[in-house]
Every structure is written in structure tokens, then in C-alpha cells.
């Protein structure tokens, strides 16, 4: 069941909390009137609008009624408006049309300019279409990004300088990541003032329904639109072409859309879009700018209260009232995405998250935003149909996310929480830093910290009131200056150490071992100059006999020399982990147990039957503590889950491997982390481990009993 305005109850179980959808710039739900219109035309008026019989004429009437409405809403005047599959197609068609005309003018000996100018913050469909068609048509013009200023608006002075050389200018009406509204009047004035004959494409996708558009009163040549950004379904869009602007069809064939775009029309999409446009024209359905700006202010206030230090990456006054783009010092976009998702708040990362780390958002980079903000940005966006209840619920969930991040040690805490004890892995895919923590004495050692984990380590250490005894590395001369600076008085950066960061007491000899609660840490230097750090339980020290070593922190698990100092069941904890093994043992490496992913994956539809067949089975939630806190006890099937964050898996493995092997069903948000963990367990000989496929996103959820 979908409640349109942003709160969705897709429950398979009535106790499941609702989902709050705040990703309207990616896509929106479909307006009930649009669904009804689509169902009506599919069920009752399914004729082909090109047919001349009654059924066809009925469909054609819907088609032309929708077009007429769109033309009024957009102020198309004598221009042309065709239906297509969406904005990406509209952009292709516009680019193809402009470039074909330019090629013709060039062939006629006309000077056309040498630049294809596009705003530096355009949707990637624009520069990529320009590159593609420029190459395919053999025009060999130069693609040139038009810079934007710190507010994300086009640099009009740069435009003034470049416009005389421009053959085509592409700018957007409003940006999809930040909501920044372009100064289209200013751009038009520069184009006129410079006397350029360049064509002008304006991507109006994010403007529809949010900004007034009177296209015929502008000098815009092409304007693509997309239905699914304003409560119509995916796969329907429109392209405006100014009267007199050159046009080349992208798709030829049956002559539909007056030959401008062949192919039988997507009538369900057109009817649905028609319902949205009618609502827009009639008024009363969508919220006003002032109401939406009020919603944004409430969300911003909640975010400020929940996430100390939050920075908004755009000026609200010059942005759509439906978009907030922000970054939080010390918390990456992945952590923010995870905590919002765990709380059932759907937002998007402003940056493209690659497998290894968040790539900075090119939009924010173009605005000159510092790297940490460009890499850690989150976009929260809502449609103009959003209601009061959604905003109120979102504000409450935002507060819960802030509390979850504080309790998880990612944000400074109000109260001192219980400290971690034991081994903690702080990794991004393929690489990890490690912490060994002594909660009783509040001391710890940091091993091979990754630069991207600096803020996390500093928050954890400072927030939990730890002191750092050493920052050590598996290779000599590692640079830990940024972490040392972030730790401040928690670490004595002036104390003498050797080239690996290992403490050297006053007598000049390296310390033989570092005590850490129930453990003792020692260092071994291998023949190749790499170092490993061996952690043995205190009772067994100082005998660091290989078999007594419980953890060996090493550069890689294939580090030569490890077999001489680690036992067959010592957990090898690597810094570089190309195969995402998390940790392993020499015994597992030698056995190299063949396993298929299929045997580890548990189909969520089979979970209930599995739990009935295995009454002793336990659910294990490998998400971060802050994600568990944000979810508030919701688990698959309502079964209580044991929280074992992936970073604490190595610590827990020791108990699991040496205890009774009960069936374990590991869960996480999407099934990726739990799959890694279950595979790790199986490699180490724990055959009773499964990963819930698709994670919590696909599982039937309920509040834990």
C-alpha cells in the first residue's frame, strides 16, 4: 500500500515501521490520479492512436489533450512539443538536432564556433551525449565545461568570454544534486549581448512543477523534461523545440508524433503524465513555494540539531525549496546513507559511491566545495506533494539518526559510553586499519590506520576517552601526521618511536611488548622489512609461541615469514585485503576450502522455514552499531538478532570457532557485508553460516520479540 506523499507502508507485517521517501530528485511516487489514468487507458482505451477507428480515436484524444495541456503549462507557444521516453532521450535528440544543423552550416562554409559549451554541473547525460554525437557526426568540436561559482550558478563572465566561440550552449534550469536554480535570464542576456548564433539547450527536468516556465518567451531552443521526477511513471518524457529551431529525429519509422519521434506512443505514460499536468494547471494539488520552503526549513533545523557541525552545500535562497544537500564533519556519506536507510529514511548520496570509497561529487567539486564535503555529501529531496505528516515523521527519524550516530561513536557523545574492548577492524573494501583496545584502562594501539578513517578513529578515541599508546605500521616510515593532529593530546606525538611507530623507551631499545588488557602486543620484523604485530592473551605472554598468538596484524595474509610466528589457527588480520577475506588463518589458507556463493546465500522467502527447521539458529546483525540503533530493534521475522558489527567480527570469531557451531544467519542492509562475513566463517571451517540474501531491504521485517 502506498501513501503517496512520502510515507510508504510496504509492510508484509503490520508492525514494520513505515518508510519515509526523501529522494524526490531521483524519482517520485506516482500520483493516484496518474495511476488511475494509466489503468483507464490500458484497460478501457487501449487503441493505437494512429488507428483511424473509434478505439484509436479515443486514444488519440487522450494523446492530444495531454499535449495541449503540456503546451499551456510550459508556455510552448508556436514551438513543438513531442512525447518521448524521458529526459535522456530528449537530451540526445536536442544534441543530435543541433549538431546536425551545425554540420550542415559548416558544410555551407558558415562559421559556427568551435565550442560545445556545457555547465560544469550538468547531469552526465549532457556532456556524454555531446561527446558521443560530436564524435559520431565527425564534427570534432571542443567540449568545454562552463565553470560555476561557489553558489553553483554559471559563471556569467566566463560565459561572456566563451559565448562568441560557442556552437551550442547547454545549461540546466535547476541542479539535481543541490537544487541550485540557474540564472536563465542572465544567461540569455549574455547570449544576446555577445551576439552568438549558438543553439541553447536547457535541461528542465528538475524545474517542472517547481519553477514557472514560459518557454516561448525565452530564446531556449531545446528543453527536455522527464515525467518520473513529478509523479508520472518512468519512461515518459517530453521535448520542447522552439519554433524555427533545427530538428533531426532520433528515431525514424512509423511517423508518429508528426514524424518527430517514431514508434507507437507510450499511452499509459502519456495518460498518467496528462493527469499530472492537469493537476499542475488546475492548481490546488501541489504545494506552494512558501509551503515547501517551510518544510525545508524544518528539515534543516532537525538536521542541525541531530548532526553537529553539519554544513549545507548550497544557498537555500538560490535553490529549489525541495532539495537539501549537506555534509557532516567526521561522518562519511556511506555511514550517513546507512544510518538513514536503517531508520527507513530514503535519501541519496550526493557522490557516486564506488566499491572502494565515495568519489567526490563532481557537482560540488565544480562549486569549489572542500573535498571532505564533496565526498561525504547527502541529498535529501522531496516532491511538491509532500505532506505535513511526512515532514514531521522525517524530523523525528533525523533525531533518531543523530542519536544512533552518537551512540555508535561517529559523532561526539553527550555521555561517555562503554568503551570497546578487543580487536576492531576499521576498513573500506580491500583495505583495513586495526585497533586493539583495552576498555578497562582506556588505552589502545592503532595499526595501519587508513587516511579515510582518520575522523572515525579520532571520534572513537576521543569520544570514548581512550589514550593511544602507539600508532604502528606494517611498513616503515608511514605518514600518520593527520591522525596524530586529529588525536591531539590523546597521543604523545613527541614520544620516541622506531621507523614503524613502535615505542622506544628512554634506553633506546624498542619496547619488547605492549600490554593491552587481557592481551599483549609484540612486533616482529620479517626478512623483507615488513612488520607484523602479534597479539597473545596475557596469561600466555611473554611466550609468543606461534600457537599462543591469537591475532597477527600483517600487511597481507601471504606475508612471507608469517608461518614462522603465527599458529595454524591464529587469525591473520591484513591491512591489504584484495580478496575481501576480512581475516583468515594459515590452516584455512592451506585448505583453501572451495565454496560457492550459492551455498552461503539464504533466500529471504525461505527464512521462516529455515528457522523452523533449525530451532537453535541465531540471527546475527553485522551492521554497524549506529545502524542497529537507528532501526530500533526491527529484524527479519521479528527474531532478536545478536549485534556483531563487521568490524568486530575478528574478535568474535575466536569465540564462535572454538564454541558449539550453531546455525548462524548473518544479516545486513543489502546482503553484501553479511555475505562477506558468512564466507569468512565458512572458510575458517564454520559450516553453519548463511547470509540472508538481499539483506534487510528484501526481508520480511518486524519489531524484534
Residues with active-site annotation: 353
Nearer to ligand PLP, 172 or 572 (CB): 172
How far does Cα 288 stand from its chain's mean position?
29
Binding mask 383-422 for ligand PLP (x = CB under 6 A): ----------------------------------------
The residue (of 125 and 554) whose beta carbon lies closer to ligand PLP is: 125
Give the residue with the Cβ less far from ligand PLP, 260 or 331. 260
Residues from 233 through 292 that contact ligand PLP (CB under 6 A): 237
Kind of pairing, strands 115-119 and 142-146? parallel
Structure-derived torsion over alpha carbons of residues 597, 600, 601, 605, reported in degrees to the nearest 10: 150
Whole-number Å distance between alpha carbons of 36 and 383: 20
Binding piece for ligand PLP, criterion CB under 6 A, among 203-211, 298-306, 346-354, 413-421: 203-211
**Phi and psi (nearest 5°) for 441?**
-95, -5
State which H helix or E strand residue 550 sits in: strand 549-554
Closest distance between ligand PLP and the C-beta of residue 131, in Å? Answer: 16
Strand partners, 601: 691
Work out how close the CB of 170 gets to ligand PLP at its nearest, in angstroms, rounded to a whole number. 11
Residue 437 CB, nearest approach to ligand PLP (Å)? 44
Q: Both ends of the chain: CA-CA distance in Å?
A: 25
* Interface of this chain with ligand PLP, residues 554 to 593, rule: CB under 6 A: none
Find the binder of ligand PLP among 34, 41, 87, 607 (CB under 6 A): 87
Closest approach of ligand PLP to the CB of residue 132, in Å: 15
CB of 272 to ligand PLP, least distance (A): 14
Rounded to whole angstroms, how far apart are CA atoms 622 and 291? Answer: 41
Cα separation, 174 vs 181, in Å, equals 4
Residue number with CB closer to ligand PLP (129 or 585)? 129
CB of 311 to ligand PLP, least distance (A): 23
Choices 80-88, 315-323, 460-468, 526-534; region in contact with ligand PLP by CB under 6 A: 80-88
Least Å distance, CB 291 to ligand PLP, is 23
* 33/45 Cα distance (integer angstroms): 16
Between β-strands 166-172 and 115-119, what pairing exists: parallel, antiparallel or unpaired?
A: parallel
As a whole number of angstroms, the distance between CA 325 and CA 336 comes to 12
Which CB sits closer to ligand PLP, 234 or 518? 234
- What angle is formed at CA 414 by the lines to CA 418 and CA 308, rounded to 5 degrees? 125
Angle between helices 672-683 and 649-658 (to 10 degrees): 40
Q: 437 to 496, contacts with ligand PLP by CB under 6 A?
A: none
State phi, psi for 324 to the nearest 5 degrees.
-125, 125
- Lay out the site mask for ligand PLP across 98-137 (x = CB under 6 A, - = otherwise): -------------------------x-x------------
The span of 83-91, 238-246, 285-293, 386-394 binding ligand PLP (CB under 6 A) equals: 83-91
Could you tell me the three cell numbers for 78?
508556436
- Of the residues 47, 49, 86, 647, which one makes contact with ligand PLP according to CB under 6 A: 86
- Give me the least distance between CB of 441 and ligand PLP, in Å please: 52
Enumerate residues 215-234 that contact ligand PLP by CB under 6 A: 226
The stretch among 10-18, 82-90, 568-576, 597-605 that binds ligand PLP (CB under 6 A) is: 82-90
Q: For ligand PLP, give the closer residue by CB, 207 or 369.
A: 207
For the record, the C-alpha cell of 523 comes out as 612486533
Instruction: Pick the piece of the chain touching ligand PLP (CB under 6 A) from 38-46, 200-208, 275-283, 570-578.
Output: 200-208
Quick one: 348 or 357, whose CB is closer to ligand PLP? Answer: 348
- Compare residues 179 and 344 and give the one whose CB is closer to ligand PLP: 179
For ligand PLP, the binding residue among 60, 74, 166, 203 (CB under 6 A) is: 203
Q: List 379's β-bridge partners, or say none.
A: 325, 348
User: Which residue of 28, 66, 88, 349 would you call a contact of ligand PLP, by CB under 6 A?
Assistant: 88
Cell of 217: 518567451
The residues pairing with 268 across neighbouring beta strands, listed in sequence order, are none
DSSP string computed for 55-122: HHHHHHHHHHHHHHHHHHHHT-TTSEEEEES-HHHHHHHHHHHHHHHHHHHHHTT----SEEEEETTS
Q: Which is nearer to ligand PLP, 131 or 654 (CB)?
A: 131
Judged by CB under 6 A, the number of residues near ligand PLP is 12
For the stretch 501-511, what's the b/e string if a residue is b when 16 or more beta carbons lie within 10 angstroms of its beta carbon? bbbeeeeeebb
DSSP codes of every residue in 302-325: HHHHHSTT-EESS-GGGB-TTEEE
User: Residue 91 or 667: which CB sits closer to ligand PLP?
Assistant: 91
Give the residue nearest to ligand PLP (CB). 86
Residues 63, 130, 159, 172: which binds ligand PLP (CB under 6 A)?
A: 172
Question: Would you put residue 590 in left (φ > 0), alpha (ψ -120 to 50) or beta?
Answer: alpha
- Residue ranges that bind ligand PLP, judged by CB under 6 A: 86-88, 123, 125, 172, 176, 203, 205-206, 226, 237
Amino acid at each position: 500500500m502506498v501513501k503517496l506523499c512520502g510515507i510508504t507502508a510496504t509492510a508484509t507485517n503490520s508492525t514494520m515501521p513505515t518508510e519515509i521517501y526523501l529522494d524526490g530528485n531521483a524519482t517520485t511516487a506516482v500520483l493516484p490520479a496518474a495511476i488511475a489514468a494509466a489503468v483507464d487507458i490500458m484497460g478501457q482505451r487501449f487503441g493505437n492512436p494512429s488507428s483511424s477507428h473509434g478505439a484509436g480515436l479515443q486514444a488519440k484524444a487522450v494523446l492530444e489533450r495531454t499535449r495541449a495541456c503540456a503546451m499551456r503549462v510550459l508556455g510552448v507557444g508556436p514551438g513543438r512539443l513531442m512525447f518521448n521516453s524521458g529526459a535522456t532521450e530528449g537530451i540526445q535528440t536536442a544534441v543530435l538536432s543541433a549538431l546536425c544543423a551545425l554540420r550542415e552550416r559548416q558544410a555551407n562554409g558558415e562559421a559556427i564556433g568551435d565550442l560545445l559549451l556545457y555547465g560544469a554541473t550538468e547531469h552526465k547525460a549532457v556532456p556524454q551525449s555531446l561527446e558521443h554525437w560530436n564524435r559520431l557526426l565527425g564534427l570534432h568540436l571542443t567540449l568545454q565545461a562552463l565553470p560555476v561559482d561557489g553558489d553553483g550558478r554559471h559563471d556569467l563572465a566566463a560565459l561572456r568570454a566563451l559565448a562568441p566561440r560557442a556552437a551550442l550552449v547547454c545549461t540546466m534550469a535547476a541542479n539535481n544534486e543541490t537544487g541550485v536554480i540557474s540564472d536563465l535570464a542572465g544567461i540569455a542576456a549574455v547570449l544576446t549581448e555577445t551576439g552568438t548564433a549558438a543553439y541553447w539547450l536547457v535541461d528542465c527536468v528538475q524545474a517542472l512543477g517547481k519553477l514557472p516556465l514560459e518557454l516561448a518567451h525565452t530564446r531556449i531552443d531545446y528543453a527536455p523534461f522527464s515525467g518520473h521526477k513529478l509523479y508520472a511513471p518512468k519512461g515518459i518524457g517530453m521535448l520542447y523545440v522552439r519554433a524555427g529551431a533545427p530538428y533531426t529525429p532520433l528515431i525514424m519509422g512509423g511517423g508518429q508524433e508528426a514524424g518527430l519521434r517514431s514508434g507507437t506512443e507510450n499511452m499509459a505514460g502519456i495518460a498518467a503524465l496528462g493527469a499530472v499536468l492537469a493537476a499542475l494547471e488546475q492548481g490546488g494539488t501541489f504545494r506552494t513555494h512558501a509551503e515547501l520552503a517551510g518544510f525545508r526549513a524544518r528539515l534543516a533545523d532537525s538536521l542541525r540539531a541531530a548532526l553537529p557541525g553539519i554544513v549545507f552545500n548550497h544557498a537555500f535562497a538560490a535553490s529549489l525549496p525541495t532539495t537539501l544537500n549537506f555534509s557532516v564533519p567526521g561522518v562519511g556519506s556511506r555511514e550517513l546513507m546507512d544510518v538513514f536507510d536503517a531508520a527507513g529514511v530514503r535519501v541519496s548520496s550526493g557522490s557516486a559511491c564506488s566499491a572502494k570509497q565515495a568519489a567526490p561529487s563532481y557537482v560540488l567539486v565544480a562549486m569549489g566545495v572542500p573535498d571532505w564535503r564533496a565526498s561525504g555529501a547527502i541529498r535529501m529531496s522531496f516532491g511538491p506533494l509532500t505532506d505535513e505528516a511526512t515532514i514531521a515523521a522525517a524530523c523525528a527519524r533525523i533525531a533518531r539518526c543523530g542519536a544512533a550516530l552518537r551512540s555508535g561513536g561517529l559523532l561526539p557523545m553527550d555521555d561517555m559510553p562503554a568503551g570497546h574492548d578487543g580487536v576492531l577492524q576499521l576498513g573500506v573494501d580491500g583495505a583495513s586499519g586495526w585497533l586493539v583496545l583495552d576498555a578497562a584502562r582506556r588505552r589502545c594501539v592503532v595499526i595501519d590506520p587508513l587516511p579515510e578513517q582518520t575522523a572515525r578513529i579520532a571520534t572513537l578515541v576521543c569520544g570514548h576517552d581512550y589514550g593511544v599508546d602507539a600508532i604502528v605500521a606494517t611498513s616503515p616510515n608511514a605518514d600518520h601526521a593527520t591522525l596524530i593532529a586529529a588525536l591531539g593530546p590523546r597521543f604523545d606525538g613527541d614520544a620516541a618511536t622506531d621507523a614503524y611507530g613502535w615505542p622506544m623507551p628512554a634506553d633506546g631499545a624498542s619496547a619488547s611488548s605492549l600490554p593491552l588488557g587481557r592481551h599483549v602486543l609484540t612486533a616482529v620484523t620479517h626478512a623483507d622489512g615488513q612488520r607484523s604485530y602479534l597479539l597473545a592473551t596475557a596469561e600466555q605472554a611473554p611466550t609468543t609461541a606461534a600457537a599462543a598468538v591469537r591475532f597477527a596484524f600483517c600487511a597481507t595474509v601471504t606475508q612471507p615469514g608469517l608461518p614462522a610466528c603465527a599458529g595454524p589457527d591464529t587469525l591473520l588480520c591484513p591491512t591489504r585485503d584484495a580478496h575481501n577475506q576480512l581475516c583468515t588463518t594459515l590452516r584455512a589458507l592451506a585448505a583453501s576450502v572451495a565454496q560457492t556463493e550459492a551455498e552461503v546465500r539464504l533466500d529471504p522467502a525461505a527464512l521462516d522455514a529455515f528457522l523452523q527447521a533449525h530451532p537453535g539458529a541465531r540471527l546475527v546483525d553485522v551492521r554497524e552499531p549506529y545502524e542497529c540503533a537507528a532501526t530500533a530493534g526491527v529484524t527479519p521475522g521479528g527474531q532478536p538478532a545478536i549485534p556483531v558489527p563487521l568490524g568486530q567480527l575478528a574478535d568474535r570469531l575466536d569465540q564462535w570457532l572454538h564454541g558449539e557451531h550453531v546455525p548462524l544467519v548473518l544479516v545486513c542492509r543489502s546482503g553484501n557485508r553479511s555475505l562477506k562475513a558468512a564466507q569468512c566463517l565458512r572458510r575458517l571451517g564454520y559450516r553453519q553460516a548463511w547470509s540472508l540474501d538481499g539483506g534487510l531491504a528484501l526481508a520480511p521485517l518486524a519489531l524484534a520479540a
